[in-house]
Amino acid sequence: MQKFVGVFGLLFVCFGVGYSVVHYNTASNYIDRDPAAVRTGFDFSHLSGDKLQDAVKQRLVTGFELKKTPEGSGFSLGHFVFVDQNGQRKLACQEFSKVSLVFEAEGVSVSGDKPSMEVEGTCEYSKDMAKINPLWLPIAKILGERPADGEFQFNEGAGTVVRFANLPDHWPKTWLLKSVRMKNLNNSDLVIQSNEVARYLGHPIVVTF
C-alpha cells in the first residue's frame, strides 16, 4: 500500500510539473502574439479610414531597413497594430500573409519596358514585434544564374520567391523600389506606390547588384 501511495504521489508531482511547463509556454506564446504587447508608437488601433491607411503606410516605409551581407541584401519593414473591419485588434502579420517588394531597373529597358524584380515572402514579425522579418535577396546566387524572365526560389527562408520580367541579356546593376504590397487572401491588399515611398522617406530606396 505504501508503495502504491508513493508511486501515485510521484505521478501527481510529475503531472503538476508538466502542467506548469505547458501552461507557462502556452501563456508565453499567447503574450508574444498579443497586439497589446506592441509599443504604443506602432499601435494604430485608435485610427480608421484614411488616417489609418496613411499611418500604416508611413510605418511600413519609415521602418524600412536594408541589411547587406556578402551573399545579398535583406529588406525589413516596420510592423504595427490596427483594428480590422470586425473591430478586432490585430498585428499586421496576422492580417497579411505575404509581403511583396517590386523593383524596377534604372537606366535599362527592353522593347520600351523596364526590367522588374519582385521579392515576395511570408509576413513574419520580429521578437519585439516592431519589425517584419527581412526578406532576403541572394544577389550572389542570382548573379551566378543566366538572366531570364521567370520565378526563382533560392531557399532563403520565409518562403522567399524572386520573379523577374523584361530582363536584358545581362543583369541590371541598379534597382529602385517601386511598390510595397501587403497581401491578404481574403480582403483587399495594402499597396504603397513609389511616389508614397518618396513622400514618406524623402528619398528613393536603391538596391545595387
Give the pLDDT of residue 21.
Answer: 36
Query: Domain locations in the chain?
Result: 1-32, 40-208
Q: What is the pTM of this model?
A: 0.79
Cα dist. 188→49, 94, 185 in Å?
14, 14, 8
Helix axes 49-62, 194-201, angle to 10 degrees: 70
What is the residue-averaged pLDDT of the chain?
Answer: 83
Short-list 79, 82, 181, CA closest to 131: 79
* pLDDT averaged over 10-residue windows placed end to end, the chain, 209 residues: 40 38 33 53 90 95 94 95 90 96 95 96 93 95 95 80 97 96 90 92 91
* C-alpha cell of residue 12: 501527481
Condensed to tens digits (0 to 9), the pLDDT of residues 140-156 reads 999 999 999 999 987 76
Give the pLDDT of residue 4.
Answer: 35
Task: Please report the sign of the dihedral spanned by the C-alpha atoms of residue 188, residue 77, residue 59, residue 129.
Answer: positive
Give the pLDDT of residue 11.
Answer: 35
